Amino acid sequence: MPIESGWATVGPFFHAVLPWKDGGAMARPETKGEPITIIGCILDAEEQPINDAMIELWQANAAGRYNHPEDTQPGELDPSFQGFGRVTSDAQGCFTVNTIKPGPVRGLGNSWQAPHIEVSVFARGVLKRLVTRLYFEGEPANEHDPVLSLVEETQRRETLMAKPDPKERGRWHFTLRLGGPQETVFFEV
């Protein structure tokens, strides 16, 4: 059997190829669902901004359906929504994504997963991508989410929560910390 090829860092010089012009515009005006803006920031173990990262996002549409042949759930596909985003961090270590809030997605067995976005972090110094999830603070379904409940130190679940902007509805803030006392929960897939 062949073995999986070994990961390597994207390094600092990927910008001529990987970023896409429309990478942060995941939703179009006609996309069904609640439009949201995610302002993300990415910090190292000393809370310094990481200004050379790439972030990829993958999510279901407003009906909780993924645009992929393996998702045969009844929810309708939205032709205006692929569900994939790719952005790079700026000088402040931040990025902006315009998308829609995903619907709940079936989990394993009879479980349901709260609305969430799969997040991959790539950067110089990150040999293998870091995988995490973005959830929405205050969402009642979070309480029964099977993945959140895998995080045994309950206070660390906070690191997976995007927080609503106190002033502007539909705006969410999400901070990724690659180390330090408030290190984000990362997953092995």
**How many whole angstroms from its chain centre is CA 161?**
10
Least CB distance to another protein at residue 166 (A): 29
DSSP state of 80: T
> Using H for helix, E for strand and C for coil, what is the string for 87-115?
EECCCCCEEEEEEECCCCEECCCCCEECC
Residues 2-31 that bind another protein (CB under 8 A): 2-18
From 79, 96, 138, 150, residue interacting with another protein (rule: CB under 8 A)? 150
- 11 touching Fe ion, by CB under 5 A: yes
* Residues forming beta bridges with residue 119, ordered by sequence position: 57, 132
Nearer to another protein, 73 or 96 (CB): 73
Nearer to Fe ion, 11 or 125 (CB): 11
From 49, 77, 84, 170, residue interacting with another protein (rule: CB under 8 A)? 84
Least CB distance to another protein at residue 35 (A): 20
Q: Which residues contact 86 (CB under 8 A, 6 or more apart)?
A: 18, 19, 20, 23, 24, 54, 55, 56, 57
Nearer to another protein, 79 or 179 (CB): 179
Which listed option, Fe ion, another protein, none, makes contact with residue 70 (CB within 5 to 8 Å by class)? Answer: another protein
CA distances to 17, 43, 105, 159 from 181, in Å: 34, 12, 31, 11
Residue ranges in contact with Fe ion by CB under 5 A: 11
